[in-house]
Structure 1
Amino acid sequence: MKPRTRARSIALQVLYEIDIANHSPADILNQRLEESPLPNELADFSRQIIFGVLPLAHELDQIIAKYAPEWPLDQIAAIDRNILRVACWEFAVQGETPVKVAINEAVELAKMYGSDSAPRFVNGVLGSLVEHQHEIKQQLQSVAKEN
């Protein structure tokens, strides 16, 4: 697994556990980094993803629901929902990750953690979101500034 993919994987595991069990983000991240140590730069990248996605989770979910209405949020598996949140945050808020890279990384995470149909599903939803990426960027960046 590529180094930044490992960092995304750890961030995804933390976000998933928060979603499912509502544990402390810092505690979960520290535990994951003890189990699978990362160089400081990559640990910081995981941290950036986690603490970038968390305050925007509601808005990210609304965007996913708005631009991909054929996939109701309550029917999306928690792991897939978090993969979508991470990818959307990366290309719309963080802005350092090219859209194609964010999608490819999300599909890779879906292959690792999702069901057999998850990679195709994630790719399809993100394809819908990318068609509206400029509106999504504006919406999320204004909310991120408020936080």
Structure 2
Amino acid sequence: RRKAREFAFKVLFQVDQVNADPHRAFQYLLQETTLAEKDQEFSWDLISGSLAHLEQIDKEIGTYVTSWSINRMSAVDRNIIRVAGYEIMFYTNSQPVVAIDEALEIAKKYGDDTSAAFVNAILDKMLGETK
């Protein structure tokens, strides 16, 4: 399911950075890389759910990033946290610990040297709040 989460991150990143249409961005990624049907559904659930709950997710993230605004955060980190944050806060069909582990792997791949530690710290706090 990592690939599905990675797709979701990439689409949210495009929406965030260039105001891309999420459906078109998703379809474009599917043309470039194959993704199993069930993973396509899961990925789209993450995308649409994250976007539908974006304000709540960002507000939650903001409670843990007190030294600066969420918009000053790295766009990579912000969108990885948004996808995993959606899973933690709203998506009942997955395990939050797995979502965090997958987010860390995506952060290692796309972020900078501090991304994984930063993403982990925020998501651990979010998980603690939902328990």
TM-score range, shorter chain: over 0.9
The equivalent of 2:61 in structure 1 is 64
Aligned to 1:94: 91
Alignment-derived partner of residue 80 in structure 1: 77
Deviations 1:44-99 (A, max 9, x none): 11111110101111211111111442453122111111111111111221112212
* 1:67–1:128 Cα contact (<8 Å) kept: yes
2:45 corresponds in structure 1 to 48
Amino acid at match of 1:18: V
TM-score by length of 2: 0.94
Q: CA deviation at 1:31?
A: 0.4
- For 2:56 and 2:114, how far apart are their aligned partners in 1? 25
CA RMSD of superposed structures (Å): 1.3
How many correspondences in the alignment? Answer: 131
Structure having the higher Rg: 1
Moved over 6 A (4+): none
- The CA deviation at 1:26 is 0.8
Instruction: Report the Cα offset of residue 102 of structure 1.
Output: 1.2
- The TM-score, its normalising length taken from structure 1, stands at 0.84
| Structure 2, gaps ≥5 residues long | none
The equivalent position to 2:26 in structure 1, one of 29, 32, 38, is: 29
